[in-house]
C-alpha cells in the first residue's frame, strides 16, 4: 500500500521559516518525480514545486521562487520543502505527490499518489 505522509506544518509569523516533509512508503521512492502542491482557503489547488527522481532538477512556481527550496533524500524515502520568508498568502494545506516520470509534466501532472496534506498558517 502506497502512503505519502506529510508533516511539519504549523503556525508561523510572516517572515519566518518552516520545513515540511513527505515520507513515502510502499513505493520505490527513487523511481518517482515528486511535487508539492497547496490549496489555500477558498482557492483551487496550485503547483508549488517539483523535483526529479535524482534530485538534480527542480522547478518552482513563480510565487515561491527564491523563497522555497525543494529537496529529497532517496535513502530516507523523504522529500522536503524548506519555506523561508513566509507570507500570509502562503497559508494553505500543503500536499506532496508522486509522479511516474513518463506521466505528463511536473507542473500539470498527472500525479499518481497524493498525501493527505499538512496545514501551514502564516500570521501577519
Which of 29, 1, 4, 11 has its CA nearest to residue 83? 11
pLDDT in tens, the chain (124 residues): 999 999 999 999 999 999 999 999 999 999 999 999 999 999 999 999 999 999 999 999 999 999 999 999 999 999 999 999 999 999 999 999 999 999 999 999 999 999 999 999 999 9
What pLDDT, on the 0 to 100 scale, is given for residue 95? 98
Q: What's the rounded Cα separation, in Å, for the pair 70 and 106?
A: 13
What pLDDT, on the 0 to 100 scale, is given for residue 114? 98
Which three cell numbers, joined as nine digits, stand for 44? 483551487
Which of 74, 67, 66, 84 has its CA nearest to residue 34? 74
Q: What's the rounded Cα separation, in Å, for the pair 75 and 16?
A: 29
Whether the CB-CB separation of 84 and 65 falls below 8 Å is answered with no
What pLDDT, on the 0 to 100 scale, is given for residue 98? 97
What pLDDT, on the 0 to 100 scale, is given for residue 8? 97
Q: What's the rounded Cα separation, in Å, for the pair 97 and 105?
A: 13
3-state secondary structure of 27: coil
Amino acid at each position: 500500500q502506497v502512503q505519502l505522509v506529510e508533516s511539519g506544518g504549523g503556525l508561523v509569523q510572516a517572515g519566518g521559516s518552516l520545513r515540511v516533509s513527505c515520507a513515502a512508503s510502499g513505493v520505490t521512492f527513487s523511481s518517482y518525480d515528486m511535487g508539492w502542491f497547496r490549496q489555500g482557503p477558498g482557492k483551487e489547488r496550485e503547483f508549488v514545486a517539483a523535483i526529479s527522481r535524482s534530485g538534480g532538477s527542480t522547478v518552482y512556481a513563480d510565487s515561491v521562487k527564491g523563497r522555497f527550496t525543494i529537496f529529497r533524500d532517496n535513502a530516507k524515502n523523504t522529500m522536503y520543502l524548506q519555506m523561508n520568508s513566509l507570507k500570509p498568502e502562503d497559508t494553505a494545506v500543503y500536499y506532496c505527490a508522486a509522479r511516474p516520470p513518463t506521466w505528463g509534466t511536473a507542473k500539470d501532472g498527472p500525479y499518481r499518489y497524493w498525501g493527505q496534506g499538512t496545514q501551514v498558517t502564516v500570521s501577519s
